[in-house]
Amino acid sequence: MHIVICSDIHDNIWKLDTMLHQAAGCGALIFCGDFCAPFTLSQIGEGFAGPVHVVWGNNDGDKWLLTRNAHASGNVTLHGDFAELEIGGRSIAVNHYPGIAAPLAASQVYDAVFYGHDHTPRNERIGPTLLLNPGEVMGRLGKSTFALYDTETGEGSFHEIR
């Protein structure tokens, strides 16, 4: 199974729309924080057919409306600041911050740890654990990117949003 990993949309709904088309057919989507506005979460819920797992970022302000929109979507699960997931036989930890993600990966408890916040794509192994930052959907600080995680191989790959 392929899982879409994305972060830091910051309301760039045009890049998000393109990313959702590029990611069609993937089994799940994991969002590592910073939608910004609630309509961005709604766009993901409406535009992605599979389950969506979300952790909060530091720019997700209106949590009441974000929560309401997540419930209305029917396929979005809000996990708060941290998520522990089992998808495709893989144990996955998700949060927004690199300072939390790196020690989680170093613990070697998870197959993969995903995070965002610094908008910098990162794909490395810490022991057997994949530590991955998909970069930013927004495209303000660098290229607009997302990642795919293959649960069969345990590998991640970056994809530019065009």
- The pLDDT tens digits of the residues spanning 83-109 come to 999 999 999 999 999 999 999 999 999
pTM (two decimals): 0.97
Residue 61 has pLDDT above 90, yes or no: no
- The pLDDT tens digits of the residues spanning 65-90 come to 999 999 999 999 999 999 999 999 99
Q: How far is Cα 118 from Cα 92, in angstroms, rounded to an integer?
A: 20
Domain boundaries, the chain: 2-160
How many CB atoms neighbour CB 135 within 10 A?
29
Q: How far is Cα 118 from Cα 3, in angstroms, rounded to an integer?
A: 21
According to CATH, the topology of domain 2-160 is Purple Acid Phosphatase; chain A, domain 2 (3.60.21)
